[in-house]
A and B are shown apart, each in its own frame.
Chain A
Amino acid sequence: MDPIRPLPRPADGEASGPSRTAPDPPRRRAVVKAVTAATLTLCVPTGVGTASRAAAAVATGPAGTQGPSRAIVTGTDAEKLVLEVTAANKVVVRLPRVEVGQGITTAVAMMIAEELDARLADVVVPLADARPELPGQYTGGSSSVRSLYDPARYLAATARARLVNAAARRWHLPARTLRTRDTTVVAPDGRTATFGSLTEAAARIRTPRRATPKPARLHRIIGHPATRIDAQDLVTGRAKYTGDLSVAGAKPTLVARPPTLLGSPVSVDDSAARAMPGVLAVVRTSHGVAVVAETFHHAFQARDALRITWAPGPLGALSDKHIRARLRDAVPSLGAPPRGSVQVTGEFEFAFVSHAPMEVLTAVADVRAGRAEIWFSSQTPVFAQEEIASAVGLPAAAVRVHVVRGGGSFGRRLTCEAAVEAARISKAARLPVKLMWSRSDDIRHGRMRPASHHRIRASLAGGKVVAFAHRVAEVGESSEGARATTRSLSAIAAGPAGAAATAAGDEGLYAFGALSVRSGGVGLPIPVGAWRAVSSGTMRTAEEIVVDEIARRLGEDPVAFRCATLTSRAAVRVLGKVAAAGHWGRPLPAGVAQGVAVHEEYGSCVACLAEIDASDPRHPRVRRVVMAADVGTVVNPRGLQAQLMGTAIDGISTVLSAGLHIDRGAVREESFTDFRYARQRHSPTHFEAHVMPSHRSPGGAGELGVPAAAGAVANAYARATGTRPRRFPVDF
């Protein structure tokens, strides 16, 4: 929420990519309503601000139209979460979000189990198909817990009240004498009834007065560490990702792609490929040639047997050095510093970075005359439904999009190019297809965090910072590279409420006097995208490096200087926590040093202390990382610690080793051999993450740690090597 300064406003709609912060999801009173059970539809007051006036209504719906019969089913207006208690005593909530490892299914199951007094193991959270009526079906901007915390708890509290009432009627006891625990209602005399045994009766009960969630002091699940609800499936190989689905008889499909970004086929000789065993179809696509085959082995062999001459892409002979020069030229002027001030300046460059989720983009598509069905992992399934429909010439209502668990995302699954491509191929080949991008496709033709150039100037007078200016230019995707996407990427990344591209009223993270930020952009036909933490991953990292350099100029300790200048007490507390737990300032041998950094965003704040061994400066190793985060109310501390851990590895990777080069219009890297994301030997042997207690409503957490981790690693590296790192990754 409070970066060091306001967000840069993109120079134009495309140039700067997505906004750094997704909008804070509106905090609504979750009002439970709208039931679509087969035999009964119950409505309770709905909509924001209407709770007090709308009367409960009961309507009998046509039997057998939707939903399971005679089970209690409730939904909330704000999120249209639907909760079903089945006769088998399971609680099912179809979640309008995607699980990509961030743990949202576990967090929601915890909220539901808490308010229902259900066993966590009895709560099942499948991912909802695309539902165009849901404006909030969007996963991104670290917004999921914030947007679901109230709706999920009100929903479950209401379901619990109905179940209790059903038991009260059955037993002829006052509802207030009944208790709930372990997915069961318990009477004072010890009689019990499972929720499943009450669900049919509960579905027929007029909704009681709106139930309210428990006060936090009664929480027994929320705020307590829980293991992921899908952990067993994940360690046994049972968890299914898109490529593991055997649906629709979908056939393995690959696309031969050009050597350059957005190149295109000029001539194609597919005779050899078509003659190969196991090949079912060869289809031209906009930027390549698709092969559909019986297995991926056959598809790879046939793809490699295609004889294609390629036209170069629109980047022509452009390489990194040109892009870096254009970015440098596009950085807006800093203007004149305040009179009489002394300047601390830094100029920083960040390379492109691949998202490189472990699961490459994969989509199953079955497009027939008049309808289409698609399975893939999507952060924006409603947007995808529209894009797919338009690509294959169907109305959106004829396209079913099933959302599948994703093998990582980091922002990569905000867009849907693989699903659109799969749908087009399925239509052309008249076959259901399982399209997979190869790793090389993913890295050489996938989206990437845009390269950026930063010029930062802190103006010092009287022993303090009186002005702080940041000028930045980022590569934005120009229309030549826009592919099938009709909406701007910034709009997609920002979510349903639109981009919140400026936060001009925000107080700075530090009391640095006059803050100013301006941004420029360089539009290029390069597929860029929101990468975990978006622009904060570069902007705030660069700023935290400058903060260290200011402290050095003033002769102050980096932790003490920050504590004296941070404007938020929560930020001071997280920094104090990592300094104490990480033994800031402990004696270390030559070549080993600590670094710290702080970040605040999404209603949360975080600090990181990294200790790096750079005694061999060519092979620096971050040995210890200590993080602390205040994210308001925490649903699953263990999940939060996992997210912080991931951001620590992101920081290590992007600062030290992981980036993409552009050589003559093409991405140079093509796998994890040369896109050097950290492995075990680069990760800290000691990691700890502290969760600060808080009763504030939940903040965001998934992306929070990236700038703090990257900043701490860069500052530790600078102190260990006695250098001033300016280009990232350092070893590139």
Chain B
Amino acid sequence: MPRYSFVLNKQPVTVEAPADMPLLWVLRDVLGVTGPKYGCGIGVCRACTSHMDGSEIQPCVVPVADCAGRRVTTIEGLADGDRLHPVQKAWLECDVAQCGFCQPGQIMAAVALLDRTPQPTDDDIDRIENVCRCGTYPRIREAIRKASADVASAPVARE
């Protein structure tokens, strides 16, 4: 079986897996990284949303072969040790989560949006496709606005 090396949450990892194995199952079933969730397997619910080289991906539709040599970040790798990412902090302050199952993906999508667009408009936020079946969307919007304002008012050097 082929071997693939990539950086996962700042740690180098090497896995032996079929080339077409989706990153989601490599993360969950091989590496035991369970923050990214299965919600549909076809990239539409986006519960698994994570980052590759800083951009949003849906690991359920990304084959592991495409990750070789890349930098993958899941929800587990977002905080800096015990220091939460500003988006995670905003999520806590707005008490966004209900069941929480989609929230790792929601947070990773919000981080990707704010990295691209530090001052998002409502239309920008509307483009987040992640499904939340509990219907936390208004608090997600509020938390994104808050994180955007917090980062703008207290700029910190981030990677």
A positions within 8 Å CB-CB of B: 100-103, 227-228, 230-241, 243-244, 246, 252, 277, 294-297, 300, 356-360, 405-410, 436, 438-439, 638, 642, 645-650, 671-673, 677-681, 683-687
Q: Which residue of A lies closest to B74 (CB)?
A: A237
Given A235-B92, A406-B99, A642-B98, are A678 and B137 neighbors across the interface (CB < 8 Å)? yes
B29-A638 in contact (CB<8A): no
B75-A236 in contact (CB<8A): yes
Q: Which residue of B lies closest to A103 (CB)?
A: B98
Q: Which residue of B lies closest to A227 (CB)?
A: B95
Contacts of B117-157 to chain A: CB distance below 8 A: 122, 125-141
Give the size range of B's interface with the partner. 35 or more
User: With the chains together, A681 CA to B96 CA distance in Å?
Assistant: 17
B34-A237 in contact (CB<8A): yes
Beyond A234-B97, A642-B139, 11 additional pairs, beta carbon < 8 A: A100-B99, A235-B88, A237-B35, A294-B29, A407-B37, A408-B99, A436-B38, A638-B95, A646-B136, A671-B42, A680-B128
- Does B102 make an interface contact (CB < 8 A)? yes
> What are 7 pairs between A and B in contact, CB < 8 Å?
A227-B93, A295-B25, A296-B25, A296-B29, A358-B101, A646-B98, A686-B138
Per-residue interface assignment for chain B, residues 71 to 111, with 1 indicating a CB less than 8 Å from any chain A CB and 0 otherwise? 00011101100001000100111011111111110010000
Q: Which residue of B lies closest to A651 (CB)?
A: B135
B126-A237 in contact (CB<8A): no
User: With the chains together, A235 CA to B95 CA distance in Å?
Assistant: 10
Q: Which residue of B lies closest to A233 (CB)?
A: B100
User: With the chains together, A532 CA to B96 CA distance in Å?
Assistant: 20
Q: Which residues of A contact B135 (CB under 8 A)?
A: 645-650, 678, 683
- Does B13 make an interface contact (CB < 8 A)? no
B95-A649 in contact (CB<8A): no
Interface centre among B74, B100, B134, B136 (most CB of A within 10 A): B100
Q: Which residues of A contact B102 (CB under 8 A)?
A: 358, 407
Q: Which residue of B lies closest to A356 (CB)?
A: B133
Q: Which residues of B contact A103 (CB under 8 A)?
A: 98
- Report whether over half of chain A's contact residues are helix, strand or loop; otherwise say mixed: loop
Partner of B99, one of A231, A236, A297, A407: A407
- Does B116 make an interface contact (CB < 8 A)? no
A683-B44 in contact (CB<8A): no
Per-residue interface assignment for chain B, residues 10 to 50, with 1 indicating a CB less than 8 Å from any chain A CB and 0 otherwise? 00000001100110011011101011111111101101000
Q: Which residues of B contact A232 (CB under 8 A)?
A: 92
Closest chain-A Cβ to B134's Cβ sits at a distance in Å of: 5
Given A244-B34, A297-B29, A436-B38, are A239 and B136 neighbors across the interface (CB < 8 Å)? no
Interface centre among B37, B93, B102, B139 (most CB of A within 10 A): B37
User: With the chains together, A359 CA to B103 CA distance in Å?
Assistant: 12
B107-A235 in contact (CB<8A): yes
Given A231-B92, A243-B34, are A672 and B44 neighbors across the interface (CB < 8 Å)? yes
Given A101-B100, A439-B41, are A679 and B84 neighbors across the interface (CB < 8 Å)? no
Given A241-B101, A294-B29, A359-B101, are A671 and B45 neighbors across the interface (CB < 8 Å)? yes
User: With the chains together, A356 CA to B98 CA distance in Å?
Assistant: 15
Q: Which residues of B contact A677 (CB under 8 A)?
A: 131, 133
Closest chain-B Cβ to A182's Cβ sits at a distance in Å of: 21
Q: Which residue of B lies closest to A625 (CB)?
A: B138
Q: Which residues of A contact B134 (CB under 8 A)?
A: 101, 358, 408, 642, 646, 649
- Report whether over half of chain B's contact residues are helix, strand or loop; otherwise say mixed: loop
A358-B132 in contact (CB<8A): yes
User: With the chains together, A648 CA to B98 CA distance in Å?
Assistant: 14
Q: Which residue of B lies closest to A300 (CB)?
A: B41
Q: Which residues of B contact A686 (CB under 8 A)?
A: 138
User: With the chains together, A686 CA to B44 CA distance in Å?
Assistant: 25
Partner of A649, one of B22, B38, B137: B137
A360-B100 in contact (CB<8A): no
Partner of A360, one of B38, B95, B130: B38
A237-B76 in contact (CB<8A): yes
User: With the chains together, A337 CA to B99 CA distance in Å?
Assistant: 47
Closest chain-A Cβ to B147's Cβ sits at a distance in Å of: 12
Partner of A438, one of B34, B41, B79: B41
Closest chain-A Cβ to B143's Cβ sits at a distance in Å of: 10
Q: Which residues of B contact A241 (CB under 8 A)?
A: 37, 101
User: With the chains together, A405 CA to B35 CA distance in Å?
Assistant: 15
B133-A357 in contact (CB<8A): yes
Q: Which residues of B contact A230 (CB under 8 A)?
A: 97, 100
B103-A243 in contact (CB<8A): no
Partner of A408, one of B34, B74, B133: B133
Closest chain-A Cβ to B111's Cβ sits at a distance in Å of: 11
Interface centre among B26, B30, B130, B136 (most CB of A within 10 A): B136
Q: Which residues of B contact A295 (CB under 8 A)?
A: 21, 25, 29-30
Closest chain-B Cβ to A648's Cβ sits at a distance in Å of: 7
Closest chain-A Cβ to B10's Cβ sits at a distance in Å of: 15
Closest chain-A Cβ to B70's Cβ sits at a distance in Å of: 19
Closest chain-A Cβ to B35's Cβ sits at a distance in Å of: 3
Partner of B45, one of A234, A358, A410: A358
User: With the chains together, A100 CA to B97 CA distance in Å?
Assistant: 11
User: With the chains together, A649 CA to B133 CA distance in Å?
Assistant: 9
Q: Which residue of B lies closest to A684 (CB)?
A: B138
Q: Which residues of A contact B101 (CB under 8 A)?
A: 101, 241, 357-359, 407-408
A679-B29 in contact (CB<8A): no
A358-B99 in contact (CB<8A): yes
User: With the chains together, A102 CA to B136 CA distance in Å?
Assistant: 12
Q: What 7 A-B pairs are tightest by C-beta distance, nearest first? A: A649-B135, A237-B35, A101-B99, A407-B101, A234-B100, A237-B75, A101-B98
